[in-house]
Structure 1
Amino acid sequence: MTANSPAPYAPHTTPGIAAAATDLTKVYGSGDTRVVALDEVSIGFREGEFTAVMGPSGCGKSTLMHCAAGLDSPSSGSVRIGTTELSTLGDRQLTQLRRDRIGFIFQAFNLLPTLTALENITLPATIAGRRPDQQWLDRVVAMVGLSQRLGHRPAQLSGGQQQRVAVARALAARPAIIFGDEPTGNLDSRAGAEVLGFLRDSVRELGQTVVMVTHDPVAAGYADRVVFLTDGRLVDEMTRPTPDRVLDRMKALDTHSHTS
C-alpha cells in the first residue's frame, strides 16, 4: 500500500474467504533462464466480492490466477479454496474440486461447436453425472439474456453471445469462485460491457465471488476492488475503482517499473 492510497474497504459484514494464496512463488527455468513469475504473493479473495487483477504485461497476473485456480502448481507457498489446501489433494481430488467449486471464463470462449448453447452451459454437470439445479439454471440463463438462444450452436451466435454462454457455464454449477482470464479481451466494447455487467450482477444478486485478470481500466471499473501486480509482487490495492483512477495508478506503476 502506498501512503496516499485509500484504506481497504471494510464491508459491514465480514464474509468468509473464498480463496487465498499465501507466500505464493512460481519460478520458471533455472540458471540464466530463471524467471520469477510470482514472488511471495499473499492475497485473499472475499466471498461475494469482484476483484480485478491488473499490472503490466508479464507481471504474473495470469500465473497468479492459474495457481489460485489449481490449473498450475506453485513452486512454493500455498493456495486454499475455502478451507481446502490444494497441495493436499491428489490429481483426481483436484479435478473434482475444480469441477465442483471453481468456474472459469477464458478469453477464447472454449465452447464446443457441436453442442447447443444450453448443452455447453450444462456440460460440466453432464460430465460430473449430475442434473443441473433447474431453478438456478433458469435464473443464470435469464440474467445473461440467453433464454431465446439456448438451441443455437456457437457458430450461430455473435462473439458477445458466445462469451455470455461461457459466463453462464461458469455460473451454472454455483462454484465457490469464478476466475476470468481477460474475459472481454476478444469482444467489442459494447459486448464487453454486457459481459462485465453480468459478472457484476452475479456478485451483487447471486452472491458469487469473481476474480478477473484484465489490462483494461474500464473493465476494472466494474470490480469492487483492484489489486496491482508488478514484477511478480503485489504492490497496491484500490477499492471502489473508477476507470480514471485505475488508469492513473497503472501509469504510475508503469513509470515506476521502467525506472526501477
Structure 2
Amino acid sequence: MTTTPTTARATSVAARAADLSKVYGEGETRVVALDRVTVDFRQGEFTAIMGPSGSGKSTLMHCVAGLDGFSGGSVRIGGTELGSLSDKQLTRLRRDKIGFIFQAFNLLPTLTALENITLPMDIAGRRPDERWLRLVIDMVGLSDRLGHRPAQLSGGQQQRVAVARALASRPEIVFGDEPTGNLDSRSGAEVLGFLRNSVRELGQTVVMVTHDPAAAAYADRVVFLADGRIVDEMTAPTADGVLDRMKEFDARGRTS
C-alpha cells in the first residue's frame, strides 16, 4: 500500500489545546478531569486518543470539539478561539467546521441514507458539493443503499452513513468518540478503513477516542492520557505496540 503525501505534509494545525483544564465540583468533591493539557491536532492526520477509563480522553475530545466548556486554558479550531464564542457562535462553528461520529449512529429513522447524510447541510440551508458528496459516498460504499432507511441497513452500514454524514460538508476536522464501539470486528474494521482513507485520499483531519489498540493502529499518531495529562505519544502505531504501552501505564498505575 502506498502512502499518499497528505500526512507527510501535515504541518498546519487543525485544532489546538493549550494548558487546557477541566474541573468538576469543589472541595472534597473536586475532580480534575484535564490537568493543563497542551496538544496539537495537525491537518491531514488521523490521531487516536487513548488512556485508561477515567483518564480524560473523552473529556479532552468534547472540550476541543466545542461540545463541553473548560475551566482554564484555550482551544482553537483553525484560527478561531472557542472561549471567545457565544453559544450561538459555537453552534454555528460545530455545524460549519466540525464533523462528529459517535458510538450511537444517531440516524433519523424516517429519512433515507442520503437524506441522513445531507441533513446537517439541509438544516444549515447549504447545498452540498455534489462532486465531494459523490466521492464520500463512493468511498464508504453506499452507492447502492442511498434510498434505504436505517431499519433496512445493518449496524455497519448505519455507521457508514454516519461517517459519510460527518464528511459530507467537508469539515475542517472530524471527531469520533468510540465510533466502532457498537460494531462487530469486521464492520468496525471497515469503518476505520473508511476514516483512514478519508485522511489519505481526501485530506481529511480525524481525531478519534478509542480504548481498542487495534482501532488505534489505523491512526497516524496515538496520544496517551492518564490522570488528565498527556503522558506519551506514538507515531506509526501498531496494535501490539499500543497494547504494550497501555500495559505499561496499567503497571505504573498499580505501583503508584
TM more than 0.5: yes
Shift of 1:12: 4.9
Cα gap change, 1:105 to 1:14, in 2 (>3 Å): closer
Shift of 1:258: 2.0
Shift of 1:217: 0.3
Q: Which of 152, 165, 168 matches 1:169?
A: 165
Q: Does 1:134 align with 2:136?
A: no
Any residues of structure 2 matched to 1:76-155 within 5 Å, and which? Answer: 76-155=72-151
Q: Does 1:218 align with 2:214?
A: yes
Instruction: Show the counterpart of 1:4.
Output: none
Cα gap change, 1:243 to 1:14, in 2 (>3 Å): closer
Instruction: Show the counterpart of 2:181.
Output: 185
SS where residue 9 of structure 2 aligns?
coil
Q: Does 1:200 align with 2:196?
A: yes
Q: For 2:84 and 2:21, how far apart are their aligned partners in 1?
A: 17
Shift of 1:91: 1.3
Q: For 2:96 and 2:191, how far apart are their aligned partners in 1?
A: 23
Higher alpha-carbon deviation: 83-92 or 57-66: 83-92
**Structure 1: runs of 5 or more not aligned:** 1-10
Contact kept? 2:15, 2:75, Cα under 8 Å: yes
Q: For 1:14 and 1:66, how far apart are their aligned partners in 2?
A: 23
Give the counterpart letter for 2:61 in structure 1: M
Count of residues paired in the alignment: 250
Shift of 1:257: 1.6
Structure 1 runs (4+) greater than 2 angstroms displaced? 11-15
Percent identity of equivalent pairs: 77
* RMSD of Structure 2 on Structure 1 (CA): 0.8
Instruction: Show the counterpart of 1:40.
Output: 36
Q: Normalising to structure 2: TM-score of the pair?
A: 0.96
Q: For 1:162 and 1:15, how far apart are their aligned partners in 2?
A: 33
Give the counterpart letter for 1:255 in structure 2: A
SS where residue 226 of structure 1 aligns?
strand
Cα gap change, 1:235 to 1:113, in 2 (>3 Å): same
Shift of 1:14: 5.3
Contact kept? 2:10, 2:45, Cα under 8 Å: no
Instruction: Show the counterpart of 1:18.
Output: 14
Q: For 2:253 and 2:100, how far apart are their aligned partners in 1?
A: 30
